[in-house]
Amino acid sequence: MSAAFEFSYAYPFESAISTEGNQSNLRLATFGGAEKSPYFFDGYLAHPKTTADLLLTLSAISRTRFYSPGEIRERLLAAADPVVTCDGTQLRFEVFSVCCGGYARLDLTDTAIDGNWLSKGTTNVDFNPPMRAALSTVFHGDKAGLKIGDHGLELVKATESVTERKVKLPVRWLKSFVEVQSYQTELKLIAEIAPLELAKLLHTLPQQNILKAGSITYLVPSGRSMRLSQRPAPGAVAIGAISRLKILEPILRYAKSVKIYGSASSISAFELLLPQGKFVLVLSPNAARGFSGEGQALSDLVQKVDDSALAKVKAALTWQSKLNVEQVARDTEIAIADVKSALQILGTRGLVGFDISESCYYHRELPFNIDLVEDLHPRIKKARKILADGRVRLNLDNRTTTAYVTGDTLQHVVDLSGEPTCTCPWYKQYDGKRGPCSHIMASEMALLEHNLETDSAT
Amino acid sequence: MSSRLSPDDVEAFLRDNSQEQVFETLAQLTAEDRTALVPKFRQMASIYQFRLSSAIQEERIELSKAQRGIPATEEPTANLATERTKLWLRPAIDRCATCLLFCCEYNELKEAGHTAVPSTEYAVKVIATRKPKWISQWCKFILAARSHTNFFTVYRLEQLGLVKLKHDSNYLACAAQSLTSVAGMADFIAASPQLIQDVIDILKSPLSLRAMAIAVSPDSNAAPLNEQKTSFVEFCSEVPSQNEHANRWLNCIQFLAEKNIITNDTVIESSFSQLFSASEIPEKKKNSWAPSESTTDFLIALHDRIAVDKSNLSNRYIPLIAASNTAIASYAMNNLLNTPTDKLVLTNVLSYLPMVFNTRSKELSDLAFKLLKKLEPRAMEKQELYDDSVLSALTHKSGVTHKQALNLIQKMSLLKNSETLNKFETRITWLEGINRSRARDLLEAAKRELANTATKTPDKQLSEIGQGAPLLSPVFDCAPSITQAIEEMIANNFNAKDALSELAGFDHLAQTYSASERDNNKLADAILKPIDLYSFEYPRLSDSTRVSPINDTNDLIIEATRAIAGKKTAEETEQVVDGIARMWKNRPTDFTEKMAPLTSRLEAETQTQFQLRGISLPLYPLVFSWFFGLPITQYSCHPFATVWTARIVCLAERMRQGLELPMLAAPTHKGGWIDPTELVRRVKLYQQSNRLLFNSLKGSSKFDFLNPLKSLFKGSDNASTEIWDSIEMTQALLRIAPDKQARQKALNQCHEITGEIAQTMKYALGSGSIDSIELPYFQVAAHRARDPFTSCKIKGEDLGLPDTAEVATYILNKEAFVNSRASTQDSLNNAIKVLKVTHSNIYKTLYVARNAPSDRLSHIAELVSQSDYYYLYPTSMLHSFYTNIFAPDFQEDFVLVWPLNMEPVISNVANLCFQYINSSSQRWLGQWDFLFSPDLTLAKNGSWLLCFALANNSNETARLALDLVIAAVDENRADAKAIGNCIVEVSDVMSYKPSRLVKVLRELSKVSPLHALFTWEMIETVVKKLKGRTLTVYLELALELVEEYGFALTKDSEQELANLLKKSKPAILVAKMIQRSKETTNIQKRQEAYNQATLQSLQSRLNRQQRWASS
């Protein structure tokens, strides 16, 4: 499988901060999406320095590789520009860390920006190093304009020069965008604490960036606050490689409050509630585990769905910032459960994102070809091949549902009676925590086919 | 030379012709002829390279000798090598490279690498002659080598218009590396518009700028720059040194800027951009993209030279003052300090200053205070921002910074309004010791002043970050009716006749609380008194803790797979083995199919030794034996033997005899307990199969079983069979639950059991006499099963081992502490004895084989025979040398050996905690889950364990220890004073920082009033007895507890501490503590804390009593 695909960011101009008199103007170049280089917004930053710091932290995450398993590729640092979605009321900037173990989103609402909403959509924005350096010099008292995209500049400069950066976007980066939606739906709000409390906890972490990739630390209630613990407890949040949280330190002072989310699978999320919107950081269970390899969305990807229902739900997407499931169900005349399933599937296709604080999906369309994900996912490909080769034999009796799957060298036993288990080494290693193995997926597909055949026969 | 050059002539051709002649000759050849010569040229290139490497090596040796004053060697070969190098080898290599470049296609050139790159002059001539299609690719390829020659070759080709390359980061980096080798580089660059643009681009990219700052090592195999420099050493001197390389660039850029060839603004803009990029990466980070310190130094030096008037750039330095890269932050800060105050934009500086205190650098915080002091005259202009900056210093890590901030706050009277006061109060919890106390004083004084101010402004809505967020539910906010709640609880639950309530300590605490003359010291003793959890008076067996045996083959296969994968606990693995023991003959039709993946995997993994560790290891041969129905000895097994391994061998032996019998010692309940009635049932089953009769062993002395054991694999006989069963039986006896009713019931069922085991069972269950037991190991096991903490007499010679006839006693081995500091090796050897038992012969060295023979199980038998008593006297084995060494791997197993007495296991863990006290790793910890059992006391050896673990250098270990002590305090199973005494005992010899321990204790005190009281008792014990400098850190924490909870020193403690040197820091702290504890508010706080702790302790004891009662 190819580990990366060629992607060309072709911006009509370079993002930059220009100064006119006593006003600085932040112009973010856009590329991709429904339109080639969309023009979303033209206005002012209400809190220039805060917003600049938030954008810098977001950008820092996209350039951070929390986990470095040996081969470091400098090109990866330049690989991924943030994805921005405009729904006409707010701007959502999304990024992944280079290692794909951290996902961050900055939502800027109308309290942060004041101006004209020109269009809706999703695109990439150029975050080049000089622009980042200039962003750091934005101060509180400055009057700062903001433009996301710019038709005028595009027309003038399109024929002259285009800022083009050909990068090899790692497939895992793309897969992470798909996986993180599935994980976010699992997250539950565990606690809300004062930012100073979180800052205090971060101060207790080692000074040097000792990551300890696989270590899980728990945040547990203690007295009037929370403390770090090594053991799970009621009300505890499991955080993998907690040192990664230190990236939030510079912007904690802007937050009014911090919401902490946790899940059974040790995914954690930290939501900084800001006067300007919110900043969300979602961390994978382990610094060595990017969201890309988790495989939680795999079952959704292979799920057989009613295509017409899926098409109807897809047609109902109009850049909503909150997708009300009941409303969509009413509009499309589809059952609520089906709408939920459809949204899950659309999430795996990059068509909706998930907002943990609102606990709902929102419409955004990733400016990449998401079909690649399904095509390139080795486990799905392998499962389909196993099924096509007829290497799955179901053994159904009244009590148990077992499948015998012939792998590359061995025959594996898949028990589908309850939570699926497999005797393959991959399953043995991860214990089902990183999604189903190819044998389980092939067996589930075979069982689904069997049930469909049985249904049609009766 | 004729145009008909044949491969045979190549060697002479290269040797005898000049470069020009070689070029001319090749130019006359046809393309086909040139292609035919390629293999020979490549061969020659390899030969030359080999010779060159050898010559260089010899030359280096000679040079090294000369540098150290050693006379040069007289051997002719060395001189010959040098001569060869100087005279003909290098030119020959260059000629060969010219030939290769002339004759090869691009792929061949790539394969040949640097051996096919001639000097610039001939590379250009050849390329100009050939004009190949792949010229661009080749140029990019040779640029990747970052060689000076290669860059100038490409540069020359560009000049001639033969190639047009995109000047990407690689090109620019190569240029940055190479241009410093040109004499008069500034003029050279100034003469070329293209190079000027390249220099501007180099300044913009972090990658190429790094090449400006850091010179790469010259390619030792590269061709020389020119023919004049024939010596390798001479060639090296051509390349500027690291410092010279960077300096040449600095001089060059300064020259270009002065001549206005590159504008100052361009360089300044670029340097700011680069400083910003570099500022995000802390120094010493080893990642490849991180600028090394020399890059940072270069950047700073470059900026310093170009930016002459820095005061006009002050706004640009501001964002850099909080950089992660301390060098850059410090540079920016110094520039601001050198800027006239009126030129600084106050809002901008003050909005960034708080971020400086986010960094942990002491140097930066000092500079920040200098800046704050400098801005002091203008503070009024932006008072709120100024206050924020100073208050932010309170969140810094250093106590010195806190002190500086408090000084400034006091000096400038910053606490003038309620908003600042609130912010200040929020940050007080960040302070420690005397600083916190002083901050409280400042706060109180400010509050009073504010209250007295007639023109007091109404309180504003808090704008402080986080103030708006709801806090977590406070655990110990004292309810107004707390006394009433305590009294109600006592009234509803006090029952002096209830043994469980008495045992849980509820009654004692209730009585102490209700006593008319309530003494806080007595109350604290009652609140904190640990429960006797080794008592036989409370039940261990309940339905909720019952373990379900595996009764289905399908389940057994799945569970066995998971056990092999290490996904099962020791208790669960016991159930898997028990399942195999009972059902190994049961083979459903698809048994082979279902087992195939498991056995295939095992077969594959067996090829790699030691892949599995711990309790899952012995399952290897067992699963094979189960699957193939063959003797276990045919399969590999780890040579390291434990009781667990021996029991599995015992099972294999039964399988060989075709018996399906349960494991005698398989636990029936969690915690490793066996229901005694179940054990009786199992024994009967065994005896029905003619096992457990022990006739052949009677009358034997203590080591008589060795010979039958060794002969086990030569042929089965009664003696060997009975020895294996003895191991299983002793283990089963040690797991009999101390449940009085169940023991009595089991005793009544013993009448059907016959022989030696009947006497043993009866004695273990509380009846009969030890003298009626013949075999000494059964005597010991039976006695330890009914009386773990008393001594007994056994037949025959006393083994002199701990926890056999005599009970183990523990002493602190101070020598081990001293030795551990002397050398690492001593630490390893002696640390295990830090907490040692008072039996000298326990440290018998065991033979642990690294290379096991092919018949692994025979080998285990051999091991067992050498370590005799460890298997038949498991209570003694728990103290052995090698349980310490291998404890992390086998801890789970050891925990289940003797659940009635966990002190040996706890002492092992304590020893490990000491041994690795300064390690930052927690890998050696092993499995600690058992320590969190609410029915395990940590009041004995557990105190040592906590003392060592809480002071551990590993954050994870210290955190885990904190979790443990929090749970232990909650459940009344730790002893505060005992831990305090341990700290005192080791304080003069221990090699750790007490502040590490105090940091964790501070966290403990924040959990609840009960935990705070526990910490106070511990600290008071310590400060009362401790002498020396380390006392201060403990007193600082004590002062914090006095201020937080109002705790007060006892009269005894005050007297002990009265001898402190006056005006010493400890004496000041003690005086402050005494003064504080007498204040009315603190007396109230103390009462509330004691009440709350009483309520917590009562509730905890009641919960325990109810849990026991429901069993």
Take residue A58 and report the two structure tokens written for it. Answer: 């977001």
Cβ <8 Å between A258 and B469: yes
Q: Which residues of A touch B347 (CB under 8 A)?
A: 139-141
Cβ <8 Å between A197 and B466: yes
In whole angstroms, how far apart are CA B78 and each of A400, B58, B63, B84?
Answer: 81, 6, 12, 10
A69 touches chain B (CB under 8 A): no
pLDDT given at position B883: 55
The residue count for chain B: 1111
B711 class by beta-carbon count within 10 Å (0-12 exposed, 13-18 middle, 19+ buried): middle
At A253, phi and psi to the nearest 5? -70, -15
Of B41, B31, B40, give the one whose Cα is nearest residue B98. B41
Q: Could you tell me if A419 and A442 lie in one domain?
A: yes
* Among B residues 998-1037, those touching chain A with beta carbons less than 8 Å apart: 1003, 1006-1008
pTM of the entire predicted model: 0.81
Q: Using CB atoms, which residue from A74, A191, A256 is nearest to B466?
A: A256
A366 within 8 A of A350, measured Cβ to Cβ: yes
Which residues lie below 8 Å from residue B127, measured CB to CB, with a gap of 6+? B101, B135, B138, B157, B162
Q: Which residues of B touch A165 (CB under 8 A)?
A: none
B532 class by beta-carbon count within 10 Å (0-12 exposed, 13-18 middle, 19+ buried): middle
Q: Could you tell me if A139 and A266 lie in one domain?
A: no
Q: Which residues of A touch B949 (CB under 8 A)?
A: none
A364 within 8 A of A328, measured Cβ to Cβ: no
**For position A256, which CATH number holds?**
3.10.150
Helix (H) or strand (E) holding B288: none
**Inside any domain, residue A194:** yes
Q: Could you tell me if A272 and A233 lie in one domain?
A: yes
pLDDT given at position B949: 92
Query: SS3 for A35?
Result: coil
Residue of B nearest to A53 (CA): B319
A396 touches chain B (CB under 8 A): no
Q: Could you tell me if A20 and A147 lie in one domain?
A: yes
> How many structural domains comprise chain A?
3
**Of B211 and A75, more confident:** B211
Q: Using CB atoms, which residue from B395, B471, B558 is nearest to A199?
A: B395
Helix (H) or strand (E) holding A270: strand A268-274
Of B237, B305, B316, give the one whose Cα is nearest residue B267. B305
**Inside any domain, residue A304:** no
* Å between B1079 CA and nearest CA of chain A: 24
Q: Which residues of A touch B207 (CB under 8 A)?
A: 74
pLDDT given at position A398: 66
Of B940, B424, B1054, B943, give the one whose Cα is nearest residue B1038. B1054
Residues of chain B with pLDDT under 50: 1-2, 218-237, 285-288, 454-478, 609-612, 633-640, 701-717, 824-866
Q: What is the DSSP-derived secondary structure letter of residue A372? A: H
**Inside any domain, residue A448:** yes
Q: How far apart are CA B395 and CA B399, in angstroms?
A: 10
Q: Could you tell me if A230 and A188 lie in one domain?
A: yes
**Inside any domain, residue A209:** yes
**Residue A162 CA from chain centroid, whole number:** 29
Mean pLDDT score of chain A: 81
Least confident of A235-239, A422-426, B489-493: A422-426
* Among B residues 942-971, those touching chain A with beta carbons less than 8 Å apart: 955-956, 959-960, 962-963, 966
**Which of A62, A68, A77, A137 should we substitute to test contact with B (largest number of B Cβ atoms within 10 Å)?**
A137
Q: What is the DSSP-derived secondary structure letter of residue A107? A: E
pLDDT given at position B857: 40
B347 within 8 A of B385, measured Cβ to Cβ: yes
Cβ <8 Å between A228 and B204: no
Q: What is the DSSP-derived secondary structure letter of residue B831? A: G
Q: Which residues of B touch A133 (CB under 8 A)?
A: 272-273, 276-277
**Inside any domain, residue A159:** yes
- Give chain B's count of helices (H) and strands (E): 57, 2
**Which of A56, A230, A415 should we substitute to test contact with B (largest number of B Cβ atoms within 10 Å)?**
A230
Q: Could you tell me if A80 and A197 lie in one domain?
A: no
* Among A residues 79-138, those touching chain B with beta carbons less than 8 Å apart: 129-130, 132-133, 136-137
pLDDT given at position B818: 65
Q: Could you tell me if A191 and A133 lie in one domain?
A: no
At B455, phi and psi to the nearest 5? -95, 40
Count of pairs with CB atoms under 8 A, one residue in A, one in B: 169
Of B946, B978, B934, give the one whose Cα is nearest residue B1104. B934
* Among A residues 141-170, those touching chain B with beta carbons less than 8 Å apart: 141
Choose the final residue of a domain: A290, A315, A335: A290
pLDDT given at position B169: 81
The torsion defined by the Cα of A447, A452, A453 and A457, in degrees rounded to 10, comes to 140
Q: How far apart are CA B945 and CA B933, in angstroms?
A: 15
**Which of B204, B276, B326, B353 should we substitute to test contact with A (largest number of A Cβ atoms within 10 Å)?**
B276
pLDDT given at position B958: 92
A64 within 8 A of B278, measured Cβ to Cβ: no
Q: Could you tell me if A60 and A105 lie in one domain?
A: yes
A403 within 8 A of A447, measured Cβ to Cβ: yes
Q: Which residues of A touch B426 (CB under 8 A)?
A: 196
pLDDT given at position B1062: 77
- Range A48-77 average pLDDT: 72
Residue A89 has pLDDT above 50, yes or no: yes
Cβ <8 Å between A194 and B469: yes
Q: Could you tell me if A150 and A248 lie in one domain?
A: no
A257 within 8 A of A214, measured Cβ to Cβ: no
**Inside any domain, residue A407:** yes
| Residue in this structure with the two tokens 């912010």, named with its chain if needed | B423
Q: Helices B206-213 and B169-178 meet at what angle, rounded to 10? A: 10
B279 within 8 A of B210, measured Cβ to Cβ: no
Of B642, B626, B643, give the one whose Cα is nearest residue B634. B626
A195 touches chain B (CB under 8 A): yes
Of B897, B879, B998, give the one whose Cα is nearest residue B947. B998
Which residues lie below 8 Å from residue B502, measured CB to CB, with a gap of 6+? B496, B508
- The range of the structural domain enclosing residue A279 comes to 183-290
Q: How far apart are CA A165 and CA A160, in angstroms?
A: 16
Q: Could you tell me if A270 and A153 lie in one domain?
A: no
- Range A407-428 average pLDDT: 80
Q: Which residues of B touch A139 (CB under 8 A)?
A: 315, 318, 345, 347-348, 351
**Inside any domain, residue A342:** no
pLDDT given at position B1074: 93
Q: Using CB atoms, which residue from A194, A203, A231 is nearest to B963?
A: A231
**Inside any domain, residue A73:** yes
B204 touches chain A (CB under 8 A): yes
Take residue B458 and report the two structure tokens written for it. Answer: 């109404």
B586: number of Cβ within 10 Å:
12
Q: Could you tell me if A235 and A110 lie in one domain?
A: no
Q: What is the DSSP-derived secondary structure letter of residue B1034? A: H
* Å between A87 CA and nearest CA of chain B: 28
pLDDT given at position B389: 93
Q: What DSSP letter does each residue of B113-143 carry, written as one string?
A: GGGG---HHHHHHHHHHH--TTHHHHHHHHH
Q: Could you tell me if A163 and A199 lie in one domain?
A: no
Choose the final residue of a domain: A170, A201, A233: A170
Q: Using CB atoms, which residue from B315, B355, B561 is nearest to A250?
A: B355
The torsion defined by the Cα of B272, B273, B278 and B280, in degrees rounded to 10, comes to 100
User: pLDDT digits over B565-585, tens only?
Assistant: 777 788 899 999 999 999 988
pLDDT given at position B224: 37
Cβ <8 Å between A140 and B351: yes
Which one-letter amino acid corresponds to residue B569?
T
Sheet order of strands, A411-415 included: A392-396, A401-406, A411-415, A421-422
Which residues lie below 8 Å from residue B265, measured CB to CB, with a gap of 6+? none
Choose the final residue of a domain: A229, A259, A290: A290
A276 within 8 A of A47, measured Cβ to Cβ: yes
Sign of the C-alpha dihedral computed for residues B236, B237, B241 and B246 taken in this order: negative
